[in-house]
Structure 1
């Protein structure tokens, strides 16, 4: 008869081989995001100190900046008439 193991997802997620595999894929995708962020930083279009972080257990890639939504997706300029396109760095990870 089959049995159910409680917390099997957590057990598998924390196996060394699985963690290494997730970390490798997450880091590869984070490099794409970093490339987009750095391209804008070098041109002066991105003046902030946006940082890319990778969580190794569950593969979360995040951008850290108080204005991350406006930077990534776009925003209206201070004049209220001009749309400033976002850099779409988060989508680069997909």
Structure 2
């Protein structure tokens, strides 16, 4: 008789298979490389950088900067860049999203 596993249980099983962690690392390194290239084309000032973190099971590609959310998803600017009384919206760069192929 067939045995059914929940998605959570199946993820745990697959994550422990030989070679899975290494393959995820290879994929994460490709995403980091692509994200780094994308960030370099927009780098004007600041300390933004793309880093790679290895977890016990997963790998993480990170956009490290105090304004990482604004860089990735966009933000409103007030002050010298706005029209009188109208804040200006600065489009996000979607550095990680595009590098990972999800945007």
Aligned mate of 1:88, from 67, 84, 94: 94
* Gapped regions of structure 1 (runs ≥ 5): none
Aligned mate of 1:54, from 39, 52, 55: 52
Give CA-to-partner distance per residue, 1:25-83, whole Å, 9 cap, x none: 11111111111111111xx2xx1211212233402211111111111111111225211
Structure of higher RCO (CA pairs closer than 8 Å, 6+ residues apart): 1
CA RMSD of aligned residues (A): 2.4
CA distance in 2, matches of 1:39, 1:68: 16
Q: Which deviates more, 24-33 or 12-21?
A: 12-21
- Indicate the SS of the match to 1:87: coil
- TM-score of the pair, normalised by structure 2: 0.67
* Equivalent runs, 1:1-94 vs 2, <5 Å: 13-14=15-16, 17-41=19-43, 44=44, 47-56=45-54, 57-79=57-79, 81-92=87-98, 93-94=100-101
- Indicate the SS of the match to 2:42: helix
* Gapped regions of structure 2 (runs ≥ 5): 4-8
Higher helix share: 1
Number of residue pairs aligned between Structure 1 and Structure 2 = 89
